[in-house]
Structure 1
Amino acid sequence: MPNRISTRKSKTSRLRKVTRLIGKLILWFFAITIFWVIALRFINPPVTFLMIQRGVEGKIEGKGWKLEKEWIQFEDLSDNLKKATIAGEDVNFLKHWGFDFKAMENAFEKNQSGKRKIGGSTISQQTAKNVFLWPGRSYVRKAFEAYFTALIELLWGKKRILEVYLNVIETGDGIYGAEAASQKYYNKSASSMSKGQAALLVAVLPNPRRWSPARPTAYIYRKQRLILRNMRRLGKLPF
């Protein structure tokens, strides 16, 4: 009988230790990730996991390490580009809190029909994914994406989210951000991008290594016209 009591106490003690350890790990996770998000509210992300992956892939394929990027402040970005990005990537960006469930539902239905695959991720979700997470697809990664999306919506705000998005998004083979893209394709700064140029750049963002503003296809031109139409509907931006 005493041995059974001793064994039971030992199991209870181990369970408490494991529970305390898990609790500490959870607290450390929240503390580290919240600090990380707050830090990047004021510090521009120097590199993303996607940039590193693409660079490694280039080295393996014998192409060399290619990474062209140049940060440009939000105030210096063309208003045409800001509007085109919202019009083409996330028309409800200024209204939602990180997730556009209607857009997700529409994307799911269209993808189920077997037509051209489209994404339902918001600008906030794409920013969270690009800055804080590794490339890939899994339920675990999606859970982390939702968590970081909620954090940046809460701690960054729309202006900072759009600024970071436009500076880290992949815009070509080894090209990242609006400024590097504008210099590459238009030989000018992203601060002076026209409506047509901005809409054309945004039109290729779903797959910038397949499409290019320098060689637009008929499909890309159709997307550009749709983005320009949505830009007119958006009106004046609040920032």
Structure 2
Amino acid sequence: MKVTLTNRRKWLLGAGAALLLTATPSFAIFGIGDIVFDPTSYASLVSQLTTLQTQYNMLKNNITHFSVKQQWQTTLHALENVNVANMFGETAGMSIALNSNSPSASTTAWKTATVTMNGSAPSYLAGQSLGNARMSQLAMIETADSVSPECLTAVGQYRAARSENATANSSLLSQQFDGGDSTNSEVQQLNLLNASEAQRLSEMQSQGTLHACLASQMTVANMERRNAAVEDMNTAVFVQQQRSANDTSAANESNTWKTYLP
């Protein structure tokens, strides 16, 4: 009888151990069968809550606005209009050319302010050969007459554009340094950055036109300096040739030198 009870206890203990080893993670709480605690589901829920908390903090940081933006603010400098003196009409149209986009005013102002070529110049220059001093001087004059009015127009266009864009620039600057919530969302700030890049591109294009104008003026100035240097060199060579061909000693002073430079 004792042996039978002992064997039965062993079987019960073995079955209980096997049941514990094969049990699922879910188990009843306080002995109530309908309330089950699942550790796996709990760990997944904690992970999801952590992810949501991270996303919330990120979104919160994105919409948080800067309250002290003025520390980065700079002043927008406006160009003043140029008022060129015009005592006798010698600069007629120059103020208009320098302050507005008017090619016709630029051309008229340049012609009025520069020396007019003699009407007989074409007949005189027709007999000149390419490469001599007079033809090179004519080329410089024609080049200057071409690029200079365009430069006047470029300056006037830039000034006019700066005045027209002053309101838009000031509005963008005001919104960029605004501390309110209406202009500090992530999308709004990105829009402001895009607008700022567009304005900067427009400014760079306008300044590129001015740089091209400066390069043109430098070309004309270099042409003038080169021609002057070449004329000095040619004069020196001519004088040396005349001195070699004509005796300049006192014994021959009766000879007349008719090929001297004026």
- Tell me if both proteins adopt one fold, taking TM over 0.5 as the criterion: no
Q: Normalising to structure 2: TM-score of the pair?
A: 0.19
TM-score by length of 1: 0.21
Relative contact order: is structure 1 or structure 2 higher (C-alpha 8 Å, sep ≥ 6)?
1
